[in-house]
Structure 1
């Protein structure tokens, strides 16, 4: 992840005000989107190879996204507000876009391994 999205800057010697670096925050959001997309693709391929169908595959997607969220929070040393605007960004951003990638690669891997 990039440098802190939020840093504290001293103003007039005794007053601390949060300073948000928009460029770092935007880079951190890109990292979340790339991570979710990559994990969705890998999770879809694994679900297809393991032969998950129906609801089992979607439950597997939620597990993969939960592991990804925990991994992102661990990478930020669980100091989410130093890198992102809030927990909502880490937990939910890119969730639906990742679902479409997951389904695409899930069905592709399932077809290759179990049908052809």
Structure 2
């Protein structure tokens, strides 16, 4: 993941003490957002295929998806070395971005794999 560049972070002294102003490089943040989006999409596809092969139906499949996305979020936070504000502007970016589009991909590949393995 791309962090902020040296020139984008500055420290300024004021009469109240040391204030740190952290600014994010927009290009690096967009790159990080693409990484999150592609990671969630890829893992949703793989998770959908696995759920279909394992024969999950109904609520089991959706619980599997939510667990998969939770593990994905933890993995992304760990990849960012638990310093979210260095790479993103908020926690919501890591936890929620790509969630619904990932759900659609998951359901598509879940039903496809289930049909191939268990119906045909």
- The normalised TM-score by structure 2 is 0.88
Q: Which runs of 5+ in 2 are unaligned?
A: none
> Which residue does the alignment assign to 1:2?
2
**Which of these two proteins has the greater Rg computed from alpha carbons?**
2
Q: Which runs of 5+ in 1 are unaligned?
A: none
Q: Following TM superposition, by how much is the alpha carbon of 1:11 offset from its aligned partner in structure 2, in angstroms?
A: 5.4
> Which residue does the alignment assign to 1:28?
32
**For residues 24 and 87 of structure 1, do their structure 2 counterparts lie closer, same or farther at Cα, with a shift above 3 Å needed?**
same
Kept after mapping to 1: 8 A contact 2:24/2:86: no
Q: CA RMSD in A?
A: 2.1
Distance 1:5 1:82 in 2: 10
> Which residue does the alignment assign to 1:84?
88
Kept after mapping to 2: 8 A contact 1:40/1:98: yes
- The normalised TM-score by structure 1 is 0.91
